[in-house]
Structures are given as C-alpha cells and as structure tokens.
C-alpha cells in the first residue's frame, strides 16, 4: 500500500516538473528568432516605455513600486491570457518575472537617485539582481540637484520611444499606465497627463488645507496661463520621447515648477495633449518634500511663465 502511494506521489511530482519545464520552454520559444520576418514585423509594432523615477530617501517605497510595475507587466497584453491559461505559472519562479511573456510592449525603469543617505541605492542594486540591469537602471547623482534636472538626466539614458515620468512614493499607481498607453494609441497624442480634477479623478489622504492649496494653485494657473489642461501641477505623464526632448530643451525650471512649465510650453508649441483621470494617493512611507520654499518657488514660476510664454 505504501509502495503504491509512493509511486503516485512520484508520478505527481514528475507531472509538476514536466509542467514547469514546459512553461520555461514555452517562454524560451516565445523569444526564439526562428522566424526572422515575423520577428521583424513584431519589433516594428513594439513600443518601449522608459519610466523615469527620481528618488531621494525612498528606500521604503522603491521596491514596492518596482514590484507593482512587474505585476503590470504580467497583466498587460498576452501576459494576462498566459497566466489565466497556465495557473501553475504562479507556483514557479521564472527568472526576471514574466518579462519574457510580453511581446507588444517593453519597459525599462530609470531610477535617478540624488545621493539618498537612507540606502535607496542599495535597495535598487538588489532589485537589479532580481529583475536585471537592463530593466532597472540606476543613474545616481551625488546630491540633490532639483526635480527638473533629474528628468533631464534620466532622459539622457532613456532608450524607449516613449517616456513616462512618475513619483517614487506610490502616489502614482502603475495601474494607470495601461490607460495612458491606451489613450495615446487611440488619439496619437504627444503627451498624456494624469489629472486629479476631472470626473473619475481625485485625491486620497490629504487634509482639507492641502486640498484647497493644490486646487487654488491650479485655478490660479488656469486663470493666468490657459494651458488647456486641468491639472498643471501633476507629475504623472507619458510623453513621446521626441516631444519631451524638444520641450525640455526650452525649460529653465529645476524644481517643482518644472512640471507646470513643461506642460505650458508644450501647449504653446501646439502639441496634442490628452488627459486621463487618476486618484492621487498621499505617501504611506517617508515624508513629503513639499514645503514653504516650494510654494514660493511655484508663485515665482507662475509669474515667469506669465511673462515669458
């Protein structure tokens, strides 16, 4: 009796091992170049998205952000169908997650860290060991040099034809990226920006004072600048890389005003801008870097854009 049970267990284990081997083989075959013409056609259709994430003391957030991005990879495009059809996939650790399963889009994350003393760079290096240095790029700087220059620095290392900018503190959930990509594909927009101030958008975790301050800043900017978008101070956006390179070359702001300046200048240049509603969630870990000096900087930037655009 015990011998029969042992044989059944052995056969069951062999079946699981075979399923795992088949899964890995299918993953490898999906990357095969045995059909050059088909591969060339697929490559022409594939877009690559370079996601630039500036960091300063984000040790507690960056790993979760990268994980959420990897989940997006699983559930975007054919990855979702694959998981549905092969539930055993969840039981096995395939190297680099399931990047190899996604054929229609490609991602890289460019972490621009400004010399964080909390060990953020050490965490990113560990993430590189898991996901690969071709997926997670660390492009560190020695000290804090401003948010705008962090995007410029990251852009120099971007290899995608689209660029996404987002915060590292989980205020911007990666789940919205699929909506950004879909909107861009449907409309051909040069820029897709997330907005808190249309139907379906919102803010979670702010007190009334901060909500009124943010809303008032946007209303003031709308009244003076007429940018054609509802959320000027938002920092969750998708750009065509060529458009971002063109607009960013005319920007002079280095701090938080950079977000407002770049969208205003893009609007003045006549670029097609679309909006997607998002819910902004206040950070869970760490402290906000927005203070009184940033508010003064915003007001100065508003006056500068009023007279220069």
Whether the full predicted model's pTM is greater than 0.75, yes or no, is no
- Residues 199-213: tens digit of each pLDDT: 999 888 778 877 887
Per-residue pLDDT tens digits for 13-62: 554 444 444 434 444 444 444 444 444 444 446 789 999 999 999 999 99
Has domain 45-308 been given CATH number 3.90.550.10? yes
- Residues forming a β-bridge with 107: 49
CA distance 104 to 41: 11
148, 218, 244, 300 alpha-carbon torsion, rounded to 10°: -40
Give phi and psi for 280, each to the nearest 5.
-85, 125
Query: How far is the C-alpha of 21 from the C-alpha of 107, rounded, in Å?
Result: 26
Domain ranges of the chain: 45-308
Sheet of strand 105-113: strand arrangement: 136-138, 105-113, 47-55, 162-165, 237-240, 191-195, 273-277
- For residues 50 and 110, give the distance between their C-alpha atoms in angstroms, rounded to a whole number: 7
**pLDDT tens per residue across span 155-182:** 999 999 999 999 998 899 888 998 999 9
């Amino acid at each position: 009796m015990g011998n029969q049970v042992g044989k059944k267990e052995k056969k069951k284990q062999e079946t699981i091992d075979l399923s795992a081997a088949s899964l890995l083989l299918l993953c490898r075959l999906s990357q095969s170049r045995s059909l050059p013409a088909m591969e060339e056609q697929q490559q022409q259709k594939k877009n690559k998205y370079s996601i630039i994430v500036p960091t300063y003391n984000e040790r507690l957030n960056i790993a979760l952000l990268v994980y959420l991005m990897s989940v997006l990879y699983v559930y975007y495009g054919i990855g979702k169908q694959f998981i549905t059809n092969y539930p055993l996939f969840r039981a096995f650790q395939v190297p680099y997650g399931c990047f190899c399963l996604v054929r229609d889009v490609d991602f890289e994350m460019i972490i621009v860290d400004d010399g964080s003393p909390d060990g953020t760079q050490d965490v990113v290096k560990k993430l590189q060991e898991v996901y690969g240095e071709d997926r997670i790029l660390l492009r560190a700087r020695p000290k804090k040099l401003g948010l705008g220059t962090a995007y410029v620095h990251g852009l120099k290392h971007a290899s995608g034809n689209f660029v996404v900018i987002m915060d590292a503190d989980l205020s911007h959930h990666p789940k919205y990226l699929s909506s950004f990509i879909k909107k861009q594909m449907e409309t051909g927009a040069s820029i897709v920006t997330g907005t808190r101030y249309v139907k379906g958008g919102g803010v979670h975790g702010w007190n009334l004072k901060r909500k009124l301050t943010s809303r008032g800043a946007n209303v003031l900017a709308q009244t003076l600048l007429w940018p054609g978008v509802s959320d000027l101070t938002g920092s969750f956006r998708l750009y065509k890389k060529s458009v971002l390179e063109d607009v960013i070359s005319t920007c002079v702001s280095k701090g938080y005003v950079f977000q407002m300046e770049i969208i205003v200048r893009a609007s003045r240049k006549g670029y097609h801008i679309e909006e997607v509603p998002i819910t902004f969630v206040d950070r869970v870990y760490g402290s906000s870097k927005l203070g009184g000096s940033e508010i003064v900087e915003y007001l100065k930037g508003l006056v500068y854009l009023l007279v220069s655009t």
